[in-house]
C-alpha cells in the first residue's frame, strides 16, 4: 500500500476502527460556517461526500442508505402528502420522497446552504433535479426552530443528519425535547424516521440512545437496519408513530409500491422490508438493555475540538 497520506482517506468508523479509501481525486475541500466538507473520488466507492471527516454518502451505495431511510415510513403511511426533511444536503433523500406520487409538498430544511450548492455542482446524480421540483420548498435555517414556529403538521418527518455531537449542527435534533416537538407536528397518522448510527453490535451507543429517546415521545417505535458498505457495516434507523405499525407482509409492501408506480427501486421491496425489520436476537436484546437518553442538556457525544 502506498504510504502517502494524501492518497488515502481515513474514515474513522469508531475509536477502534478506521476504514481506508484510496483517493483518486479531490473535487473540493473547504470549510463552511458549520462544518468541514470534502468531495472526493475514491477507488472503492466513487465520489463521496465527507462532512467533518466522515463519509456521509458515496456514489456506489448511496441508494442503500436513502431508500432505507425514506421508503419504509412512506410505505407504512397509507397516503403521505406532506413531508418534512431535516438535513439531506445531497438531495437524495428528497429525490426518494418525490418518487411517491401521493406527495404534494416537501419542506426541506438544511442550515448549511454551501453544502447543497456544492452537492448540486459535484454530485448532481444524487439529487437528480429534485431541488427544482415544484413540490419542493428548500429553506436554509435551523430545522428545530422552523418546526417550533410553523403552524402546519406533516405526514412524514425525516431526520437525515450527522451524528448528535455537542456543538455540532445536528445534536439538538436528536433529543427528548425535540422528539416531543415532532410529536406535536405530525398529523394523525404521522411518522418520524431517523438515521440512528451504527448497528454493529460493539458500536450500539448511538442506535440504542436514539431508540430509547424516541420511546419517551412515541408509543410505536420500530428499529431496523441495513448493511451499508461505505459506512463500514450495518446501519441503524428508527421509525416512530402514534399509531402506525410498519410490520407488514411482503405482498402488502409490494402492493403499495406498485400502486405508487415504484417498481424501479434498487434496494427496497417487500422482501427487503421484512429483512430490515427482522433484527437478530443479540441486537434486539442489546437495544432493550441500553438505557441512555439524549436530552438538550446531555448530548450523546461531547465535542472534543
- Residue 205 CB coordination number (10 Å): 15
**Is 110 designated active site?**
no
CA nearest to 162, candidates 300, 51, 24: 51
Per-residue pLDDT tens over the stretch 13-28: 777 888 899 999 999 9
- Residue 168: the pLDDT is 55
CA nearest to 132, candidates 91, 97, 89, 101: 91
Specify the higher pLDDT residue, 287 or 49: 49
Distance CA(38)–CA(153), nearest Å, equals 35
CA atoms within 13 A on the CB side of 14: 14
Fold designation for 62-289 = Rossmann fold (3.40.50)
- Residue 2 CB coordination number (10 Å): 8
Instruction: List the catalytic residue out of 61, 110, 155, 160.
Output: 160
274 CB-near residues (< 8 Å, 6+ apart):
250, 253
Average pLDDT over the chain reads 92
Per-residue pLDDT tens over the stretch 182-206: 999 999 999 999 999 999 888 888 8
Judging by beta carbons within 10 Å of its beta carbon (0-12, 13-18, 19+), is residue 137 exposed, middle or buried? Answer: exposed
- Residue 46: the pLDDT is 97
Per-residue pLDDT tens over the stretch 257-284: 999 999 899 999 999 999 999 999 999 9
CATH of domain 5-58: 2.30.140.10
Per-residue pLDDT tens over the stretch 119-138: 999 999 999 999 999 999 99
Per-residue pLDDT for 42 more than 60?
A: yes
Domain spans of the chain, in order of start: 5-58, 62-289
Amino acid at each position: 500500500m502506498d504510504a502517502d497520506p494524501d492518497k488515502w482517506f481515513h474514515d474513522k468508523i469508531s475509536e477502534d476502527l478506521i476504514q481506508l479509501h484510496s483517493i483518486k481525486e479531490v473535487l473540493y475541500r473547504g470549510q463552511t460556517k458549520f462544518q468541514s466538507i470534502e468531495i472526493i473520488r475514491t477507488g472503492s466507492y466513487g465520489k463521496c461526500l465527507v462532512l467533518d471527516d466522515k463519509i456521509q454518502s458515496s456514489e456506489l451505495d448511496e441508494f442503500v442508505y436513502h431508500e432505507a431511510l425514506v421508503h419504509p415510513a412512506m410505505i407504512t403511511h397509507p397516503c403521505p402528502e406532506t413531508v418534512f426533511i431535516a438535513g439531506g444536503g445531497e438531495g437524495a433523500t428528497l429525490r426518494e420522497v418525490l418518487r411517491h406520487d401521493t406527495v404534494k409538498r416537501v419542506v426541506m430544511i438544511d442550515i448549511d446552504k454551501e453544502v447543497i450548492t456544492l452537492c448540486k455542482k459535484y454530485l448532481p446524480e444524487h439529487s437528480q433535479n429534485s431541488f427544482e421540483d415544484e413540490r419542493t420548498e428548500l429553506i436554509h435555517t435551523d430545522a428545530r426552530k422552523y418546526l417550533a414556529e410553523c403552524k402546519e403538521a406533516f405526514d412524514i418527518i425525516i431526520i437525515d443528519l450527522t451524528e448528535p455531537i455537542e456543538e455540532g449542527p445536528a445534536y439538538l435534533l436528536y433529543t427528548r425535547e425535540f422528539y416531543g416537538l415532532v410529536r406535536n407536528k405530525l398529523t394523525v397518522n404521522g411518522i418520524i424516521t431517523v438515521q440512528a448510527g451504527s448497528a454493529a453490535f460493539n458500536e450500539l451507543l448511538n442506535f440504542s440512545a436514539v431508540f430509547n429517546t424516541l420511546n419517551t415521545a412515541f408509543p410505536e417505535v420500530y428499529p431496523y437496519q441495513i448493511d451499508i458498505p461505505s459506512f463500514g457495516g450495518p446501519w441503524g434507523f428508527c421509525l416512530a408513530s402514534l399509531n402506525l405499525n410498519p410490520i407488514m407482509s411482503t405482498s402488502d409492501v409490494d402492493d403499495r409500491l406498485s400502486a405508487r408506480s415504484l417498481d424501479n427501486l434498487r434496494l427496497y421491496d417487500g422482501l427487503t422490508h421484512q429483512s430490515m425489520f427482522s433484527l437478530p436476537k443479540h441486537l434486539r436484546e442489546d437495544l432493550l438493555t441500553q438505557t441512555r437518553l439524549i436530552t438538550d442538556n446531555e448530548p450523546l457525544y461531547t465535542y472534543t475540538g
